[in-house]
Structure 1
Amino acid sequence: MIETIRSKGIPVIAGNYDQGVGLKSDDCGCAYKTDEDKALGAESIAFTNKMISDDNRSYLRSLPAHLRIEFGVNTDPYHLLLVHGSPRKINEYLYEDRTDKSINRMMENAGADIMAFGHTHKPWHKVLENDDGTLRHAINIGSVGKPKDGDPRACYVMLEWEDDLDLNDPDGLDVTFVRVEYDVEKAAKAVEESPLPDAFADMLRKGES
């Protein structure tokens, strides 16, 4: 997968797992809830550290934590910020029940009108209203691999807008969550045939952590 991304020159940011493997760490920066989950995570990152090439490890270390895209519509500049966890921390979990006030403050400090992030592997979209009545969009893009929302299909997001985009219009930005079918069973069986724990195969089949 790393070779494919590199060969196509696809801009990417570092995730917490990329950071851990890039640094040859035994810690992926995950917030495990049980000792069993922690043990599974340790096996996973140890396996990856064993399999990855030095060149690809170096590439992972080079990945940026954030990507900022500034674009103008008419005379209005907008800022799209791409992060893995949050602007503050690569492994911060932003769940849908996080208060609007908390996310709004985070985006204001980061100078973001639109913020796309992941880490939880659970997709959602909120339109947040600022004190001055202007709007921001917070978008968890879900996960292409290992979804955790009960849907085993891959998930990504398409952002679309018209030439006269106005983020003060709640419907001005079109956010579409796209689910993609793939051979989940083939992937699960490949996990079962590898040194990795079979529990990871079950997670793929169920779309759950």
Structure 2
Amino acid sequence: MIQIAVFSDVHGNLPALEVVLKDIEQRGIHQKFCLGDLVDFAPWGNEVIERIKSLNIPCLLGNHDERIAFDLPVFPLSKHSEEETAARFIAIDHSKKYITEENKKFLSELPFHLKLNYKTGKTHWNIQLVHSSLESNDTYLYESENDEVFMDILEDSNADMVIMGHTHLSFTKQFENKKWAVNCGSVGRSKEKNRLASYLVLTLDEEKIIPEIVQLNYPLEETARQIEESGIPDYYASFLRNENILIL
């Protein structure tokens, strides 16, 4: 039996990341992977990057990482309210100013996606890791998507399972051919009602793959207070507290 942990979308939330890393350690899991979006929306962008670096955790290039690494322009999204649009511009600008050049360089060198192969007994399991899809790190694929969307990714990558993040909404879907599509949710900016830090534990044996979404409490109020004391808009503190903000 092999166990691996996959997490995504930390978004500068160091307290949430530390809780997830501690849980992974307590479970005795040594294989860890991150699907990207280390920065934006909470004050510890540099600290999160440095924690990932210090542990040598393989990490993908999320859309927010790419924007900060290469100073890409920010465009409004039609799904966002005026309030969120204004807050988003300020929060991303905050990251562009405060993420160090060394850490921007680290982000710029992250791989776009990653293919894993694990052997258990006589079985080889192929696992495709993406931030959001094979072609883009900014495509929103929800559990409600037609199965064919995920089946195309599995076929194109010749994988038994595709694991993604980006939407901040976790799910596990198994198809008739026994293959899987999984979203591991978000460590630091969950859009689920409980706002817990979410990650994936994957158990592999010779016969099957078992995905388990783990959701953990963390010092959310501490994160919210630190956001309010930083140059990041208070919108993101209210978001974490789930204070009647429309989630899109």
Taking structure 1 as the reference length, the TM-score comes to 0.88
The alignment-based identity, stated in percent, is: 30
C-alpha separation between the residues in 1 aligned to 2:64 and 2:145?
Answer: 23
Matched, 1:157 2:200: yes
Instruction: Indicate if the aligned counterparts of 2:84 and 2:235 stay in contact, CA closer than 8 A.
Output: no
C-alpha separation between the residues in 2 aligned to 1:182 and 1:15?
Answer: 23
Give the partner amino acid of 2:66: Q
Instruction: Indicate if the aligned counterparts of 2:49 and 2:103 stay in contact, CA closer than 8 A.
Output: yes
Instruction: Indicate if the aligned counterparts of 1:107 and 1:115 stay in contact, CA closer than 8 A.
Output: yes
Counterpart in the other structure of 2:92? 45
Offset of residue 76 of structure 1: 3.4
C-alpha separation between the residues in 2 aligned to 1:84 and 1:201?
Answer: 24
Counterpart in the other structure of 1:190? 226
Counterpart in the other structure of 2:72? 25
Larger radius of gyration: 1
C-alpha separation between the residues in 1 aligned to 2:73 and 2:95?
Answer: 10
Offset of residue 197 of structure 1: 1.1
C-alpha separation between the residues in 2 aligned to 1:104 and 1:142?
Answer: 20
Deviation digits for residues 128-187 of structure 1 (CA, Å, limit 9, x no counterpart): 22xxxx32100000010110011121000100022x22xxxxxx3211111111110010
1:101 to 1:29, Cα distance in 2 relative to 1, 3 A: farther
Secondary structure of 2:133's match? coil
Q: Which moved more, 1:76-85 or 1:181-190?
A: 76-85
Deviation digits for residues 74-122 of structure 1 (CA, Å, limit 9, x no counterpart): 4433210111011121111110110011211122112221111010000
Instruction: Indicate if the aligned counterparts of 1:32 and 1:38 stay in contact, CA closer than 8 A.
Output: no
Give the partner amino acid of 1:4: R
Q: Which runs of 5+ in 1 are unaligned?
A: 166-171
Q: How many residues align?
A: 198
1:96 to 1:31, Cα distance in 2 relative to 1, 3 A: farther
Counterpart in the other structure of 1:77? 124
The 5-angstrom pairing of residues 61-140 of structure 1 reads 61-129=108-176, 134-140=177-183
Offset of residue 29 of structure 1: 9.3
Instruction: Indicate if the aligned counterparts of 2:153 and 2:162 stay in contact, CA closer than 8 A.
Output: no
C-alpha separation between the residues in 2 aligned to 1:30 and 1:175?
Answer: 32
Q: Which runs of 5+ in 2 are unaligned?
A: 1-47
Counterpart in the other structure of 2:215? 179
Report 1 or 2 for greater relative contact order, CA contacts < 8 Å, sequence distance ≥ 6.
2
Offset of residue 30 of structure 1: 6.5
Instruction: Indicate if the aligned counterparts of 2:76 and 2:85 stay in contact, CA closer than 8 A.
Output: no
Equivalent residue for 1:56, pick from 87, 90, 103: 103
Taking structure 2 as the reference length, the TM-score comes to 0.75
> Over aligned residue pairs, what C-alpha RMSD do you find?
1.9
Offset of residue 199 of structure 1: 0.8
